[in-house]
Amino acid sequence: MTDPVISIEGIAKRYGAKGHPASGGASTTIFENLWLKVNRGEFVCVIGHSGCGKTTILNILAGLDRPSEGVVLVEGRELAGPGLDRAVIFQGHALLPWRTVLGNVAYAVSSRWRRAPKAEVEERARRAIAAVGLAGAEHKRPAELSGGMKQRVGIARALAIEPKMLLMDEPFSALDALTRGTLQEEARRICRDTGQTVYMITHDVDEAIYLADRIVLMTNGPGARIAEIVINPLAADRSRSGLHHDPAYYSLRNHLMDFLVARSSAFREAPPDGYDPRHPPIVTLHHSQSGALRAMT
């Protein structure tokens, strides 16, 4: 049974409206006619080349930008702007430098539950801080934290408000490989434990393979589309360190790399026969007779 938290319905983004003097009469379509549902408790990763509009879509979902066409529904209601039902984690952490770790997270908690007593706010904040492994660092200020710790605070702050939807824009890309791996594991564990719904942009194919239930592949812009949605065939209890022992990992990785290297640009000249933007192809990887996994739509 599907239960969409977010329903993207035919959205497009255009800049420089036709006839607008600043645009010289030209209009650029960044993406168009995108349709996607994100179901409750699902982890969706979006992959596509730079400029196809991934951040613009995330900003639209956050209510920070508006589509030129189409609508976005949150639990069936048209999205009208930013709201505490959607938390955003960016690559930069945007912590308040004068507040401690506890102060930063508590600030978000008290915006969400304005009448909550101080003790409850602190309790919720401490729980979120502990969940990201920062217990003991509550009284440190951002300047005293490493990049990985700051990003943990960003995650704690987002999770503490118990959002319906977590929106992440390359949250781990600025971190060193070791910290990135640890935080990916923690993010996956926390999201699974709490049934968090996530929409995440990444350029890292392995990150998408480890984290996502479904991987949305976008074609190159301008005029980007959702080319296909790939179902992750790996076991739900996969471990990051064991991925490369699973033959399905290589099939999935090859499929995603083939898309990024060739199909993402070829799509514009020749969309596949019968392509319907409202129902982009769903790709599953099946065992062929030889035992190898093959992509099937």
Ligand X SMILES: Nc1ncnc2c1ncn2[C@@H]1O[C@H](COP(=O)(O)OP(=O)(O)OP(=O)(O)O)[C@@H](O)[C@H]1O
State whether the Cα torsion 58-61-65-68 is positive or negative: positive
Residue 15 binds to ligand X (criterion: CB under 6 A)? yes
Residue in the structure block whose two tokens are 């189409």:
70
Q: Interacting stretch for ligand X, rule CB under 6 A, among 53-61, 94-102, 173-181, 247-255?
A: 53-61
Give the nearer residue to ligand X in terms of CB position, either 141 or 263: 263
Pick the closer one to ligand X by CB: 53 or 171. 53
Please tell me whether residue 56 binds ligand X under the rule CB under 6 A: yes
Q: Does 51 bind ligand X (CB under 6 A)?
A: yes
14 binds ligand X (CB under 6 A): no
Q: Enumerate residues 6+ apart whose C-beta is below 8 A from 281.
A: 227, 228, 229, 272, 275, 297
Question: Binding to ligand X by residue 2, rule CB under 6 A?
Answer: no
202 touches ligand X by CB under 6 A: no
# of chain residues touching ligand X (CB under 6 A)? 10
Q: How far is the CB of 27 from ligand X (least distance, A)?
A: 10
List 14, 54, 93, 150, residue binding ligand X (CB under 6 A):
54
Stretch that binds ligand X, among 19-27, 46-54, 70-78, 285-293 (CB under 6 A): 46-54
Q: Is the dihedral of CA 83, 172, 293, 237 positive or negative?
A: negative
Q: Does 131 bind ligand X (CB under 6 A)?
A: no
Residue of the chain from 5, 44, 47, 53 that contacts ligand X (CB under 6 A):
53
User: From residue 120, how far is each of 20, 31, 110, 127, 209 by CA, in Å?
Assistant: 52, 44, 9, 11, 37
d(CA 176, CA 173): 8
Across 153-174, b (16+ Cβ under 10 Å) vs e yields: bbbbbbbbbbbbbbbbbbbbeb
By CB under 6 A, residue 92 contacts ligand X = no
> Smaller CB distance to ligand X: residue 65 or 120?
65
**Residues in CB range of 268: below 8 A, 6 or more apart:** 219, 220, 223
Q: Give one word for 204, left, alpha or beta, with left for phi > 0 and alpha for psi -120 to 50.
A: beta
Count other Cβ atoms within 10 Å, centred on residue 195: 9
CA distance 169 to 45: 10
C-beta closer to ligand X: residue 7 or 219: 219
Nearest distance in Å: CB 13, ligand X: 7
Q: Which residue stretch of 48-56, 132-140, 207-215, 270-278 sits at the interface with ligand X (rule: CB under 6 A)?
A: 48-56
- In the 8-state DSSP scheme, what is residue 271? P
Tell which one of 30, 95, 161, 209 touches ligand X (CB under 6 A).
30
**Contacting positions for ligand X (CB under 6 A):** 15, 30, 48, 50-56
